[in-house]
Amino acid sequence: MAVTGWHRPTWVEIDRSAITSNIKQEQSHLPDHVALLAVVKADAYGHGMLEVAKIAKEAGAQGFCVAILDEALALREAGFEDFILVMGAVPVEFAALAAQNNIALTLFDVEWLTELSTMKTAELPLHVHLKVDTGMGRLGLRSMEAVKEIEAAIAKRDDVVMEGIFTHFATADQQETSYFEQQLACFREVVDSLQERPAMVHCANSATALLHEQGDFDAVRFGISMYGLTPSPEILPILPFKLQPALAFYTEMVQVKELQPGDHVSYGATYEATAQEWVATLPVGYADGFIRAYSGFHVSVDGILMPVIGRVCMDQCIIQLPQKYPVGTKVTLIGGPNSADEAAQHVGTINYEITCLLSERVPKKYIH
Ligand SMILES: *Cc1c(COP(=O)(O)O)cnc(C)c1O
């Protein structure tokens, strides 16, 4: 069991109204017939799956997408009766469990269907969405023949229903669209070649949903931008509306002290004070998701940036202050001027990973 630190002043704040606003804004850009599916995999990108699912549903999301079957089962266990698609690969032995729970699975391999013995144990048929690899090179059927073969195989069974077909773009978050257009054309061609168009034809992640018309599709899979983050810094200037980041990560100074020239800080004694200076110890470290690579990054206090000095430890780190501050002063670790995008840039990663890294040790508080 992961222990959550309710008795330590380090916490994540999640603004419900930001998530609601991001969903409603996106929906106002979508034709009425296009469903918004909230992507809540990976504990809702670190925002808390069940709470986000509730917020998203209230905001108008018409279903959920997750990566693994356990996430879908957790939603069902919590009482969500909405549409759920598992986008990752599920071992065939768990197909009946998915069917019993009315959870749609992703089908990307005809072998999987062959191995699926009859689903008579389940009262409900298994709903599947065909995944077409149009250029992502990750999961999916890779040829028109494979799609046709699997469509024919499904048609022969009464325990499997082909509810949808989808693809995923590799470059939707780039301004240059030629590779994207190629994938889109390929997907359209595959869909047009089907004997029967399934109920849910979908291709859009956040970047696609934000930047490209969805009129001839039935749903979008809205992930990162539901949380108010841009799919990439590159498309920030061309987003159709202002995203509102939902997550902020806070702590408080637990010790404030004055260093003398020559004093050192943290493991390896890598930081040495060259003058008298004020520093503060923060009760947060890499075990919380405030990773070692944040050494040299900054946090903020009332919008004033302050550098993280020395090595970030497992449970603590030290920041340099411009002046003496009282113990208990609130510090923003991620949020405001030191946004997830800034943190990602410092570390050489993407904002997705910044929020996913937050550990269960950090309690989540939902506001608004
Ligand atoms: C995670 C995922 C999404 C959501 O992507 P965002 O960029 O977060 O919107 C959509 N589709 C698939 C297949 C995914 O794996």
Read off the CATH number of the domain in which 358 is found.
2.40.37.10
Q: Is the domain of 124 the same as that of 223? A: yes
Residues 84 and 56: beta-carbon distance below 8 Å: no
- Looking at ligand 1, which residue's alpha carbon is closest to its atom 10? 205
Low-confidence ranges of the chain (pLDDT < 70): 119-122
User: What per-residue confidence (pLDDT) applies to 122?
Assistant: 65
**Per the confidence metrics, is the pTM higher than 0.95?**
yes
Calculate ∠ Cα 178-109-191, nearest 5°. 45
311 is in an annotated binding site: no
Buried b (16+ CB within 10 A) or exposed e, 42-68: bbbbbbbbbbbbbbbbebebebbbbbe
Compute the distance between CA of residue 71 and CA of residue 30 in angstroms, rounded to an integer: 27
In a domain, 128, yes or no: yes
Position 362 in a domain: yes
175 vs 235: CA distance, rounded Å: 6
Same-domain check for residues 53 and 193? yes
Which structure tokens are listed for 14? 């999640």
Q: Is 224 in the pocket of ligand 1 (CB under 6 A)?
A: yes
User: 220: which strand partners?
Assistant: 36, 204
Q: What is the pLDDT of residue 360?
A: 96
Atom number in ligand 1 closest to CA 67: 15
Look at residue 48 in the predicted model and tell me its pLDDT: 98
Q: Which of 39, 129, 227 to mutate to test the pocket of ligand 1 (most atoms within 8 A of CB)?
A: 39
Number of structural domains (the chain) is: 2
User: What distance in Å separates the CA atoms of residue 355 and residue 351, rounded to the nearest whole number?
Assistant: 7
d(CA 346, CA 11): 22
**Judging by beta carbons within 10 Å of its beta carbon (0-12, 13-18, 19+), is residue 339 exposed, middle or buried?**
buried
7 in a domain, yes or no? no
Predicted local confidence at residue 117, as pLDDT:
78
Sign of the torsion formed by the C-alpha atoms of 53, 56, 58 and 64 = negative
Range of the domain at 256: 247-367
The answer to whether position 55 is within a domain reads yes
Ligand 1 neighbourhood includes 134 CB (under 6 angstroms): no
- On whether both 175 and 135 belong to a single domain, the answer is yes
Q: Which residues are catalytic?
A: 41, 267
Residue 176 shares a structural domain with residue 279: no
Does 10 map to a domain? Answer: no
Do 188 and 45 belong together in one domain? yes
For residue 105, the domain's CATH number is 3.20.20.10
The reply to whether 160 and 253 lie within a common domain is no
Buried b (16+ CB within 10 A) or exposed e, 2-35: eeebeebbbbbbbbbebbbbbbebbbeebeeebb
Burial label for 343, CB within 10 Å (0-12, 13-18, 19+), is: buried
Residue of the CA atom closest to atom 4 of ligand 1? 223
Length in residues, the chain: 368
73 and 184 co-located in one domain: yes
- Find the Cα–Cα–Cα–Cα dihedral 190, 191, 194, 200, rounded to 10°: 140
CB contact set of 199 (below 8 Å; sequence gap of 6+): 163, 164, 218
Backbone angles phi, psi at 314, to 5 degrees: -65, -40
Nearest to 199, CA basis, from 129, 149, 136 = 129
Residue 241 included in any domain: no
Q: Which of these, 80, 74, 126, lies nearest to 105 by C-alpha position?
A: 126
Distance 242 CA to ligand 1 centre (A): 20
Please tell me whether 76 is known to bind a ligand: no
Residue nearest atom 11 in ligand 1 by C-alpha distance: 205
Q: Is the CB of 106 under 6 A from ligand 1?
A: no
The CA distance from 238 to 174, in Å, is 11
Task: Say if ligand 1 is within 6 A of residue 205 CB.
Answer: yes
Query: Ligand 1 in contact with 223 (CB < 6 A)?
Result: yes
**Looking at the domain assignment, is residue 126 inside a domain?**
yes
Q: What is the C-alpha separation between 208 and 225, in angstroms, rounded?
A: 11
Q: How far is the CA of 336 from the centre of ligand 1 (A)?
A: 25
DSSP at 235? G
Q: Is the CB–ligand 1 distance for residue 75 below 6 Å?
A: no
For residue 160, what are the contacts with CB-CB under 8 A and spacing of at least 6?
A: 113, 116, 119, 125, 126, 128, 154
Torsion, Cα 14 17 21 24, to 10 degrees, reads 110
319: closest CA among 361, 363, 257, 364? Answer: 257
